[in-house]
């Protein structure tokens, strides 16, 4: 997977912008307000410095798209044209879940093709479905782009075709493509309807919307939409997102409309950064889909005042997520679909640009007209607006909104701020209560990743051999941290040079070689298996890979999840010396004298600390042995001699360590 580019994979789902050598974007794994997701092409990883989400391309797809490991590998292989030859090693449960998801997607793909074929290649489809779409003004290219289709007005045409192709009845029922009558007879859910396929970020068909063409009174529903199932969750879906994501990234704005035809008509008019909530109030899942691509949203309203007021209540959620919200009100009797058809492309685009207003000011204007001169209604209106302002996180933005409201309603800023503080305080208390409830539900477990397996306590051995009996030493954070720092030292700076006589410009020794020499000379060993494994893997790669970044990338893309997780979690996106050592200088031969001294001190400090922690570990083993009251006198004397020697070495190293740290 060396050809995989982390910025390409993450960029398919998150809007990224260049920042130095890296990229940054809104983190999709928490309610991010400012770009906190860092993507490093150099290391092939992503990291969020707020919620600690981190990983390689495979991990991103697994976490973000809920793919299994094999699905993520297959996705990347297809994206980069890499042939796959491997043996699956997944659990039965994982295999079943993957199989179910893949099967449902395959059935939906068949359904999409069936409906498209019926629309284009049957008399009924052309007469009913295509005529309707042409009357709506949709061009052939647009119909093909959105993969629109038609379901025959027969009891079970689609279901029969699917069963004949070998697709299981249970999958057809699960997806809501087929229903079952009380008699047990199967029937088509979408019969006699124009079909609007619903696609996810990756372009996979996850659901359908069907618009009725004949009103016969049997089914009063104008639209039938896919029900919730394994691959379709309405609250996490925006219609048109697959076709809009590139335009959203380019324009750094998204238009939000209500229905399928609104999206399609605006695309035909050249406005492609548009998605639909499909007639529902915005959900947190849909908002996350928007915030990971842009911080700017423009909501399109038709002239229906009742609908506008109803939808306003949900838009406060957008303000809470830090989005910049504008509103564009269409003329009375118009919706995005009809307005786009009645105007030239340039007229639509000019209207959207010129008529868009800040949401809170738009809200103030609408509510002000509704309240009239009634003082009670106007007071209620002002409080309603203040509630929305309390959702704004930025204090400066709040101040500007308060100033504008004071002008609009001829009120003092002090009075408005007084009430605003009350709403902010109430909101803070409510959030605090929510957090407390979640904490109580989740329990008071430890946070963070568990420390890797280390030495454990056990019975006292008969013989005193600290190397042989590490299992009786108490596990300590200090020992683990020392070994971890040593591993991270070689990962970050293994190829860098250090010099024995304080930076003299002569032939130096690589950091990884220096560390290996010290460990072999004093027979030093790791106590934590994962750290030992990583160190040994590094030693194997360093012998033939001269590029430090490539070595790290090998770890971040490792098939061993423990290894890749450790390296991704602990490796810094930018090494400590990178600005000086990588941008201005050749890190191997022309580094500054001061930076060489800093790195040399760092190497010595980490190695000395590592040795000190090993001695402390050995001392703990000897102390444990001495607790054995049945210890032979000869063994007791040996144990005391060993402990005395260890304590002497500890004092020597502590003195040296203090000199290095304070140098």
Are the CB atoms for 399 and 440 separated by under 8 Å?
no
Same domain assignment for residues 281 and 352: yes
Long-range CB contacts (< 8 A, 24+ apart) of 388-393? 388/316, 388/319, 388/360, 388/363, 389/360, 389/420, 389/423, 390/420, 390/423, 390/424, 390/427, 391/316, 391/317, 391/319, 391/320, 391/427, 392/319, 393/33, 393/320, 393/322
Please tell me the total count of domains within the chain: 4
Residue 188's domain is classified under what CATH number? 3.90.980.10
- How far is 98 from 104, CA to CA, in rounded Å? 10
Classify residue 397 as exposed, middle or buried by CB count within 10 Å of its CB (0-12, 13-18, 19+): middle
Q: Tell me what percent of the residues of the chain surpass a pLDDT of 90.
A: 27
Q: Could you report the per-residue pLDDT of 81-106, keeping only the tens digit for each?
A: 777 665 555 566 666 666 788 899 99
Ramachandran bin of 44, using left for φ above 0, alpha for ψ from -120 to 50, beta for the remaining angles: left
Q: Are 261 and 357 members of one domain?
A: yes
Gap between the Cα atoms of 355 and 326, Å rounded:
10
Highest mean pLDDT among 233-247, 311-325, 362-376: 233-247
What pLDDT does 439 receive?
46
Give the pairing type, strands 274-276 and 254-257: parallel
User: Tens digits of per-residue pLDDT, 21-76?
Assistant: 889 888 888 877 778 889 988 888 998 878 888 889 988 988 887 777 888 888 88
Look at residue 225 and tell me if it is in a domain: yes
Write down how long the chain is: 663
Range of the domain at 547: 470-662
What's the predicted TM-score (pTM) here?
0.61
How far is it, in rounded angstroms, from Cα 558 to Cα 542? 15
Q: Specify if 395 maps to a domain.
A: yes
Specify whether 53 is located in the same domain as 178. Answer: no
Pair (417, 386) in one structural domain: yes
Is the domain of 577 the same as that of 638? yes
Domain match, 538 and 400 both: no
252-270: pLDDT as tens digits: 899 999 889 999 999 999 9
The CATH code of the domain that includes 39 is 3.90.580.10
Per-residue model confidence as pLDDT tens digits over 145-187: 999 999 999 999 999 999 999 999 999 999 999 999 989 899 9
Residue 167 lies inside a defined structural domain of this protein: yes
- How much of the chain, in percent, has pLDDT values that exceed 70? 79
Lowest mean pLDDT among 137-141, 235-239, 397-401: 397-401
CA distance 550 to 306: 59
């Amino acid at each position: 997977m060396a050809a995989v580019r982390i910025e390409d994979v993450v960029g398919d789902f998150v809007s990224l912008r260049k920042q130095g050598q890296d990229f940054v974007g809104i983190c999709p794994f928490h309610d991010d307000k400012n770009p906190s997701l860092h993507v490093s092409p150099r290391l092939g990883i992503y990291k969020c410095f707020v919620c600690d989400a981190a990983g390689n391309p495979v991990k991103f797809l697994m976490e973000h798209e809920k793919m299994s490991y094999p699905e993520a590998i297959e996705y990347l292989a297809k994206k980069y044209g890499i042939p796959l030859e491997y043996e699956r090693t997944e659990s039965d449960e994982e295999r079943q879940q993957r199989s179910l998801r893949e099967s449902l997607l395959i059935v939906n793909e068949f359904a999409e093709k069936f409906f498209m074929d019926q629309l284009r290649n049957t008399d009924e489809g052309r007469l009913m479905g295509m005529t309707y779409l042409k009357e709506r003004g949709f061009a052939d290219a647009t119909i093909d782009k959105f993969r629109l289709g038609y379901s025959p007005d027969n009891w079970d045409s689609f279901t029969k075709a699917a069963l004949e192709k070998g697709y299981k009845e249970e999958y057809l029922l699960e997806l809501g493509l087929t229903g079952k009558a009380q008699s047990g007879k199967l029937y088509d859910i979408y019969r006699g309807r124009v079909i609007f396929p619903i696609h996810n970020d990756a372009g996979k068909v996850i659901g359908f919307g069907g618009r009725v063409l004949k009103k016969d009174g049997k089914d009063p529903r104008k639209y039938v939409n896919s029900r919730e199932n394994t691959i379709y969750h309405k609250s996490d879906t925006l219609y048109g997102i697959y076709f809009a994501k590139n335009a959203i990234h380019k324009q750094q704005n998204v238009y939000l409309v209500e229905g399928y035809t609104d999206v399609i008509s605006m695309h035909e008019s050249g406005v492609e950064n548009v998605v639909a909530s499909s007639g529902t109030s915005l959900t947190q899942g849909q908002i996350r889909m928007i915030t990971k691509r842009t911080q700017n949203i423009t909501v399109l309203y038709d002239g229906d005042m009742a609908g506008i007021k109803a939808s306003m209540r949900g838009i406060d959620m957008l303000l809470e997520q830090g989005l910049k919200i504008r509103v564009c009100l269409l003329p009375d009797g118009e919706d995005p679909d009809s307005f786009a058809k009645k105007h030239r492309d340039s007229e639509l685009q000019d209207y959207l640009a010129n008529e868009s207003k800040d949401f809170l000011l738009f809200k103030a204007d609408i509510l002000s007209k509704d309240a009239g001169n009634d003082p009670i209604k106007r007071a209620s209106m002002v409080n309603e607006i203040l509630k929305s302002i309390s959702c704004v996180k930025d204090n400066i933005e709040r101040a500007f909104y308060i100033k504008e409201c004071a002008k609009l309603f001829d009120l003092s800023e002090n009075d408005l701020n007084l009430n605003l503080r009350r709403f902010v305080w109430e909101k803070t208390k409510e959030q605090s209560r929510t957090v407390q409830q979640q904490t109580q539900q989740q329990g008071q477990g430890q946070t963070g990743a568990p420390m890797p397996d280390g030495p454990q306590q056990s019975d006292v051995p008969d013989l005193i051999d600290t190397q042989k009996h590490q299992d009786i030493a108490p596990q300590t954070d200090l020992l683990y941290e020392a070994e971890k720092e040593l591993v991270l030292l070689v990962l970050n700076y293994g190829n860098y040079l250090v010099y024995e006589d304080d930076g003299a410009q002569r032939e130096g020794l690589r950091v990884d070689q220096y560390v290996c020499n010290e460990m072999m000379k004093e027979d030093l060993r790791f106590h934590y298996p994962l750290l030992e494994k990583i160190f040994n893997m590094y030693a194997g790669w360093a012998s033939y890979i001269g590029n430090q970044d490539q070595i790290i990338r090998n770890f971040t893309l490792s098939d061993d999840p423990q290894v890749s997780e450790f390296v991704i979690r602990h490796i810094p996106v930018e090494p400590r010396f990178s600005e000086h050592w990588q941008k201005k200088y050749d890190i191997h031969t022309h580094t500054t004298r001061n930076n060489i001294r800093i790195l040399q001190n760092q190497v010595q400090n980490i190695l000395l600390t590592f040795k000190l922690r090993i001695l402390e570990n050995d001392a703990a083993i000897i102390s444990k042995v001495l607790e054995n009251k049945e210890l032979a006198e000869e063994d007791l004397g040996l144990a005391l001699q060993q402990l005395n020697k260890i304590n002497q070495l500890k004092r020597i190293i502590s003195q040296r360590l203090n000199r290095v740290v304070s140098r």
